Amino acid sequence: MNRLHVHLKVEDLSQSIAFYSALFGRRPDKQEADYAKWMLEDPRANIAISTRGDGAGVDHVGLQTDTPEELEAIARRLKDADVGLFEEANATCCYAKSDKYWTASPDGAKWELYHTFGDSPTFGASPSMSAIEKAASGACCGGA
């Protein structure tokens, strides 16, 4: 089963944690000095906020899978539709270890498709939007 993922960049983490805790009716499932995450069941979503990056707003959206097989099924559908993917195996991002694919919609929305298999003591990093757009356009083969 997939879980919708939304990552928002925020200016003030403590104010945002208070807001989202009130909205979701509970404290974050994970919290760091620059990051917080809620793993919701209704709706089934992974909502993350961080102070990383420039400005505030939606950084990216995605689908988090429960199994590696579900991740590969999504990647296969996109490849069959000639959608380019940027692959990141064993990536460290948002205090987690995951296998990922990134792509961009025709209008430039950044999508993260991933299966998480462990925690990380560090935030890590995401690929640049230009690398994702390049892969999605078919200009390169992707790959980390």
Q: What is the pLDDT of residues 20-55, one digit of tens each?
A: 999 999 999 999 999 999 999 999 999 999 998 888
Beta strands 96-104; 86-93: pairing state: antiparallel
Question: Which CATH architecture fits 2-136?
Answer: Roll (3.10)
Cβ of 62: how many Cβ atoms within 10 Å?
22
Half-sphere exposure of 62 toward its Cβ, with a 13 Å CA cutoff? 24
Contact present, 117 and 92 (Cβ < 8 Å):
no
pLDDT at 126 > cutoff 90: no
Residue 53: predicted pLDDT: 80
User: 31 Cβ partners below 8 Å, 6+ apart?
Assistant: 17, 37
Token pair listed for 88: 């990141």
Question: What is the band of 143 on the pLDDT scale with cuts at 50, 70, 90?
Answer: very low
Number of residues that this document lists for the chain: 144
Average pLDDT, the chain: 89
pLDDT, position 131? 72
Residue 140 has a pLDDT of 40
Residues with Cβ < 8 Å from 14, sequence gap 6 or more?
Answer: none
Mean pLDDT, residues 115-142: 72
- Between CA 92 and CA 30 the distance in angstroms is 16
Given a cut of 90, whether residue 70 has pLDDT beyond it is yes
Q: Work out the pLDDT band at 137, boundaries 50, 70, 90.
A: low
Q: What CA–CA distance (Å, rounded) separates 57 from 97?
A: 24
* DSSP for residue 52: -
In this prediction, residue 34 carries a pLDDT of 96
Q: How are strands ordered across the β-sheet holding 2-9?
A: 30-32, 35-41, 44-50, 2-9, 57-65, 110-119, 96-104, 86-93
Please state the domain extents for the chain. 2-136
The one-character DSSP state at 91 is E
